[in-house]
Amino acid sequence: MSTAKNFIELCYWCRVGDTENVDRLVSTGVDLNGVDEFDNTPLFLASLCGHEDLVNLLLQRGAVCDRDRYEGARCVYGALTDTIRNILLRYDISKAVDVKQPFATHISLQLQDSTNTPFDIFFSFNGQPLLKAHRFLLASRSAYFANKLNGPWAGKQIIHMPHERFKAAFEIILKYIYLIPTLHDIYPEDYKILKAICLKLQLADFYDSLNELCKTRDSSERAHLMAESQFLFTEHARIQMKNFVKAIVSQKREYKEAPNGIKSVEGDITCCSSFPDVLISLSDEANQKTLIYPSHRSILMRADYFRIMFHSNFSESTHYSQHRNLYAGDNVELPVLKFPSKNDDVACVILNYLYYDETEVPSRVAMDVLTAADALCLDRLKTMAAVSITQSSSLLRLTTPFDILSAGWDTRSERLEHYAAKVIARDLVHYGKHPKLKEAILESSARIKSRQETDTIELVDDIRYYLLRKYEIDIDDVHDLEAEGFSETLMRPELVRYSSDIQLLDSILKELNLEA
């Protein structure tokens, strides 16, 4: 989908108030501060239509509400409710909103939380306290670092830097690389040395932002520029990590079982240019092979499943420890983790999400991604997989609403439960003959935790609701139908068809000896 189409779709979902679809589109890098043909920003549309949760989401993802500018003032004065107006008024443009993005937050935490992220390279300035970093992240964010790490710095753990006076500036550069907002902390006298370092390290976007800030004196303009720059830094980093994941996937290896563990048939994976510190194992049963992906512990820990595995005493963690030496490369021994999927395409979707927050899930693998994301405790990706399932026009040719309903129950996805009920209601005559409908109703009945007189069967309730939507009638029409009798409604075809579907549904319930 093109950028322009993404923005048009974003504006539509902002008017409707669908936070899940907005979050999905934000991950494509769409400009949150653009305007449509009527000069409306997504934030203005969300605030005008009264979608409080969506307003909060847009602000967290990088939407700018500068009250000193036309767009920001429109948002504040056009807000539908006082609550939304207060949210916008409390919003401080000088804050680094982009760090609240899931992707930026995780990258930033890798530098700030050493307990979860094992560093593998250190920079020393004349014996001063070392600055810590990750090889793979430096290589992905800077061509200069990639060349150094694959050349003169290969195999070195401590890099001795030439001048101690560069330490403070280099620390700012590291914060930029890890997406920690730092523009607000830079003093005017530091700009010259920072720009020189940016040129050497080939950090063009940071250099350009520093250049613009040097020429800007107005405090409001500077705040706006800093917020925009941080958003651009994040989007640039996502593109860089996207390219980095392509390299990871291209460096995967095919392995076969051997008496002494897993043996490579394509060469050593531990010395590849992505600098892995952990390997992911995927059993591709369809092609009867095992694939190994080079990966990084600090990125995998974005999934709670792996975080718990690395740090807990659960059986999964024990299993992980026992297999730390399952594969030994020429120089390095790396742990191997089993991936909860048997599909190479699913693994790529998961890696794309973990490394650069890609939430577009192809419908052809959405069901498998849903299951894998649930196993890995990736709730946001699970939601996006559910969105993909419900928006696919072709998926129902490959599966049934009953399979989707079952997946919804298994993964606790209400979106899929409602979608399955909507599909069934849309063609109840057809699905009413399907034996799985009765099985689904019985299972839904069994899912009621404590039966009371007022208990209903959730699936049946949902089908009845979507029958009302299908025929565009309301509950008052139903009450009139029950009071007047079927014969009085012959002049209203939609009520006749609705009554016919309800009778069909009631007959199924009667056959199952259920009252709902």
- Going by CATH, does the domain composed of 102-245 fall within 3.40.50.920? no
CB 47 within 8 A of CB 88: yes
Average confidence (pLDDT) per 10 residues, the chain, 516 residues: 79 90 82 82 90 88 65 73 80 45 83 74 83 93 93 90 82 93 86 91 93 83 80 89 90 66 50 82 77 90 87 51 40 76 89 90 93 92 91 86 95 92 93 91 78 69 90 74 57 80 90 79
Does 102-245 match 251-380 in CATH topology?
A: yes
Residues 366, 384: Cα–Cα separation, whole Å: 9
CB 56 within 8 A of CB 37: no
CB 44 within 8 A of CB 11: no
What's the pLDDT score for residue 406? Answer: 95
Which CATH architecture describes the domain 251-380? 2-Layer Sandwich (3.30)
Q: What percent of the chain has pLDDT over 90?
A: 31
All structural domains of the chain with their residue ranges: 3-91, 102-245, 251-380, 400-511
Helices (H), 64-218: 70-78, 82-90, 102-112, 135-141, 143-149, 167-177, 191-201, 204-215
Looking at residue 346, its amino acid is V
CB 150 within 8 A of CB 273: yes
CB atoms within 10 A of CB 342: 15
Whole-model pTM: value is 0.76
Q: 85 — phi, psi (to 5°)?
A: -60, -40
- Counting every residue written for the chain, the total comes to 516
Residues 100, 286: Cα–Cα separation, whole Å: 40
What's the pLDDT score for residue 60? Answer: 79
Q: Which CATH class is domain 3-91?
A: mainly alpha
Report how many helices (DSSP H) and strands (DSSP E) the chain contains, helices first: 26, 10
CB 298 within 8 A of CB 106: no
CB atoms within 10 A of CB 259: 5
Condensed to tens digits (0 to 9), the pLDDT of residues 120-130 reads 899 998 877 78
What's the pLDDT score for residue 322? Answer: 37
Residues 65, 92: Cα–Cα separation, whole Å: 8
Residues 475, 482: Cα–Cα separation, whole Å: 11
